[in-house]
Amino acid sequence: MPPITPARRRELRAKAHHLHPVVRVGQHGLTPAVIREIDVNLRAHELIKVRVFSEARDERRALLDRICAALDAAPVQQIGKLLVLWRPAPESAPEREPAESTRNVSGAKRTRAGKSTLDRNKGKAMAKSTPQARRPRNPVARTAARPPAAVGPRRPLSGTSGATRRRGRGRSA
């Protein structure tokens, strides 16, 4: 893979800032299983972070070079034990619907073999084309209401009347 430009590298670093590491390289180092996991994640996400649990800085740099060489990826950034890798996603052909497929009278789609989806499913329930309306929620409360407070005359605190207590007077500082 050709080296990426500084502007592209800056853009990729900005995107990678919020990512979490998806692969961890442990005490056994770069095994074929780890390389395969990195490859799977690069195919799925293009830009990934890898955490390396190694104390030696030179060893981590060599590991980054080996990963990039094995998977044809570009190193974006290395911060401590985190490696950021990027590889563009492979070009995939857009999926098209076959031209011969038509719908029959019942609304089932016919395939090339001539069987409709209703024939293949043999009367199994199929998903409805329009979503159903939600049923209204039950208006009954889930928990019992609290009992009413005891009704009766309120007694003011000793030494003050209710009016002075409400206005804020009569307090000692």
CATH of the domain at 82: 3.30.110.60
Contact of 10 with 38, CB cutoff 8 Å:
no
| Average pLDDT for 140-154 | 69
Instruction: Note whether residue 58 is domain-resident.
Output: yes
Instruction: Note whether residue 32 is domain-resident.
Output: yes
Instruction: Note whether residue 104 is domain-resident.
Output: no
Rounded to 5, what percent of the chain is helix, strand, coil? 30, 15, 55
Element holding 120 (H helix, E strand)? helix 117-121
Number of domains observed in the structure of the chain: 1
List, for residues 45-63, the tens digit of each pLDDT value.
999 999 999 999 999 999 9
46: domain range?
6-86
Contact of 32 with 46, CB cutoff 8 Å:
no
Mean pLDDT computed over every residue of the chain: 77
Instruction: Note whether residue 159 is domain-resident.
Output: no
Contact of 85 with 67, CB cutoff 8 Å:
yes
List, for residues 97-134, the tens digit of each pLDDT value.
555 545 555 555 555 555 555 555 555 555 555 666 66
Instruction: Note whether residue 153 is domain-resident.
Output: no
Answer whether 0.75 is exceeded by the pTM.
no
CA atoms within 13 A on the CB side of 19: 22
